[in-house]
Amino acid sequence: MVAFAIFLGLACSPAPPASYTTDEPLSGSERYSDYLTDQGIYVAHDGGIGEPTLLELLADDGIGPIGSVSIHGQHLTARSVEALMSAEATAQLKHLSLQGSRIGDAGLAALATAPRLASLEYIILQDVEATATGVAALAASPHLKAKSLAIGWQAVGDAGAAAFVDAAGVQSLNLDSARVGGEGARALLERGQTPAISLASNPIQFSTLRAISPAIQSVSLNDCDLDASTIAALARAEGPGLKTLSLERVKLTDDGLRDIMNASWFTQLDALSLGGHDTSPEVRRALKTAFKGSFLSMFERDL
């Protein structure tokens, strides 16, 4: 049966005298308590750790094991990345999020060469001021085997997107708002080895698409500037592995919906998300009737 979703106290002890001093250093957990959680390191955008303090924390013998690092919006360099990927405290690191921290291409290059990268399962590197050069270095790393990699919101471009064609170790790739155009999107869709790809909010248009790679099971093109020829090319392409497709807030017309219904992969879809498009109720009802998957989603205004 198809599931059809509609989006509708004060301290108790007195303070010591101003002249009070002690030769006993604070323990690691006390010194860095503002940055540590049960899982590891967490610094929000409105916090501030600074690279010197981070390097000191990672070098502290009393810290660890750290399984998760989330440092957002900080002024970091490749030196921080090198320390994160080599410190004894982070030997069990599985989750790395440096969103908004300015590690740049040098930081991505440092990450790419670190053997410990192979142990990272979830990586978030959005908005780190990288370009296609750094992104390509990371994509080419033999150590990259993440379950999920998010690296959008920066100038990845077509060259950076195409670099992930051979990144077979990544299971889910997010390139949202990454300035990827038709050339980069076509390269990923035709030859990519990543099962789940999100290219939301990119200026993607193409008139031809040879086929959708058999390795690809899920594609999101939400909020992309798709035109009629792009929808038609997507629908004409064979997609033997495609199971999930999301086309929310794109320029779909009645002809576009008919193209989707006539696609060879339409009947094999398990999930289809549509919404925010200018189509007629008659064609939308026809699509709902023809859909054989378990999840079809539309906005209420599209019913």
Tens of pLDDT, residue by residue over 239-272, are 999 999 999 999 999 999 999 999 999 999 999 9
Cα distance between residue 35 and residue 85, in whole Å: 18
| Separation between Cα atoms, residue 95 and residue 171, nearest integer Å | 15
Residue entry with tokens 């990119």:
202
190, exposed or middle or buried, with CB in 10 Å at 0-12, 13-18, 19+?
middle
Locate the domains of the chain by residue range: 36-155
User: 228-236 and 254-262 are packed helices; what angle lies between their axes, rounded to 10 degrees?
Assistant: 10
Q: How confident is the model at residue 31 (pLDDT cuts 50, 70, 90)?
A: confident
3-state helix, strand, coil in the chain (%, to 5): 35, 15, 50
CA dist 144 and 170 (Å) reads: 7
The confidence score (pLDDT) of residue 9 equals 37
**Long-range pairs for 184-192 at CB < 8 Å and ≥24 separation?**
184/156, 184/157, 184/158, 184/159, 184/160, 185/161, 187/158, 187/161, 187/162, 188/161, 188/162, 188/164, 189/213, 189/216, 189/219, 189/237, 191/165, 192/164, 192/165, 192/216
Predicted pLDDT at 30 = 77
In this prediction, residue 11 carries a pLDDT of 36
CATH no. for 36-155: 3.80.10.10
pLDDT tier for residue 276 given thresholds of 50, 70 and 90: confident
CA distance 186 to 85: 33
Does the structure show a pLDDT above 50 at 23? no
Which amino acid, one-letter code, is at 118?
Answer: A
Residue type, 108: L
The one-character DSSP state at 156 is -
* Alpha helix ranges (H) inside 113-267: 132-139, 157-162, 182-191, 228-236, 254-262
The upper half-sphere exposure of residue 293, i.e. CA atoms within 13 Å in the direction of its Cβ, equals 21
State pTM to two decimals.
0.89
Instruction: State pLDDT tens for residues 148-187.
Output: 999 999 999 999 999 999 999 999 999 999 999 999 999 9
Please measure the distance between the N-terminal and C-terminal CA atoms of the chain and give it in whole angstroms: 19
**What are the E-state strand segments in the chain?**
3-6, 40-43, 68-71, 95-97, 122-124, 148-150, 172-174, 196-198, 218-220, 244-248, 271-275, 295-298
